[in-house]
């Protein structure tokens, strides 16, 4: 850890305490992470919704390892709604909490069938009313599948937003408010999908560079504008 921090300081040119310019961050992350897309494999909105619900407390890589069999055996909400819980639990068992995850996605499928004719609604309130779906999941699906501009605040987006000085808060809803306000103040965030692609790129950057325990400031394209360089 000590070695890593020394490297950060050598590379540091900011650390001013001033929030990073949101437009500049968006532009640099766009150059670095050109293809902004979710790393959850999916072929339609239902698969994206189910995969996103399954991704709670695990990684996208692990989810991608179980969804091919899951979607092959129960290929639509009608099939999943009728599935035997123990059979689904066995398929999602590698993610941990197999029975809980199985109940969650079966209930979700039942909600889709009974309330939305097996379709994923492009409606924030309707999505959040479904079992297991919160604001972040609804934003992921509406942003990545339906093309809306929505910030999905997960652990990476929250951490980077705090390190970049855009917020000091930890509640995801408050983080979202602060980041959206920051983007508007810095003259970005107005275009279609802008918040969606920003959150996808912040997630990629959080996984690959600005990691929770050992941020690689010396390799970071934001190093000259980050108030937390070497301090995170």
Residues acting as catalytic residues: 136, 154
Alpha carbons within 13 A on the beta-carbon side of 192: 6
210 annotated as belonging to a binding site for a ligand: yes
Q: How far is the CB of 152 from ligand SF4 (least distance, A)?
A: 19
27 labelled binding-site residue: no
Stretch that binds ligand SF4, among 53-61, 104-112, 114-122, 222-230 (CB under 6 A): 222-230
Whether 192 has a binding-site annotation, put simply, is no
Cβ nearer to ligand SF4, comparing 119 with 155: 155
Among 163, 165, 168, 198, binds ligand SF4 (CB under 6 A): 163
How many CB atoms are located within 10 Å of the residue 194 CB?
A: 17
- Rounded CA gap, 148 and 152, in Å? 11
Helix or strand run (H / E) with residue 101: helix 98-116
Of the candidates 93, 135, 169, 216, which one interacts with ligand SF4 according to CB under 6 A? 216
Q: Which residues contact 83 (CB under 8 A, 6 or more apart)?
A: 73, 74, 106, 109
Q: Which of residues 193-212 bind ligand SF4 (CB under 6 A)?
A: 209-210
Give the integer Cα–Cα distance in Å for 104 and 198.
29
- The count of residues in the chain is 232
Number of helices (H) and strands (E) in the chain: give both, helices first: 12, 0
Residue 157 within binding range of ligand SF4, rule CB under 6 A: no
- List 105, 157, 183, 226, residue binding ligand SF4 (CB under 6 A): 226
Q: Which of 65, 55, 29, 58 is nearest to 208 (CA)?
A: 29
Annotated binding-site members for [4Fe-4S] cluster: 210, 217, 220, 226
Which residues would be at the binding site for ligand SF4 (CB under 6 A)? 163, 209-210, 215-217, 220, 222-223, 226, 228-229, 232
Annotated binding-site members: 210, 217, 220, 226
């Amino acid at each position: 850890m000590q070695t890593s921090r020394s490297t950060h300081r050598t590379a540091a040119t900011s650390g001013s305490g001033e929030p990073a310019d949101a437009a500049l961050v968006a532009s640099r992350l766009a150059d670095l992470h050109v293809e902004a897309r979710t790393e959850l494999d999916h072929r339609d909105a239902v698969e994206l919704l189910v995969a996103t619900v399954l991704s709670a407390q695990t990684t996208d890589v692990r989810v991608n390892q179980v969804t091919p069999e899951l979607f092959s055996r129960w290929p639509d909400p009608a099939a999943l709604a009728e599935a035997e819980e123990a059979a689904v639990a066995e398929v999602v068992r590698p993610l941990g909490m197999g029975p809980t995850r199985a109940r969650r996605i079966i209930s979700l499928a039942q909600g889709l069938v009974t309330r939305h004719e097996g379709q994923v609604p492009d409606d924030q309130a309707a999505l959040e009313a479904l079992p297991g779906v919160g604001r972040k999941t609804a934003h992921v699906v509406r942003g990545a599948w339906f093309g809306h501009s929505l910030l999905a605040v997960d652990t990476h987006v929250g951490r980077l937003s705090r390190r970049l000085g855009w917020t000091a808060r930890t509640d995801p809803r408050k983080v979202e408010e602060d980041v959206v306000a920051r983007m508007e103040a810095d003259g970005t965030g107005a275009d279609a999908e802008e918040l969606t692609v920003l959150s996808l790129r912040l997630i990629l950057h959080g996984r690959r560079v600005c990691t929770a325990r050992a941020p690689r400031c010396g390799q970071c394209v934001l190093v000259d504008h980050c108030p937390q360089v070497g301090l995170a």
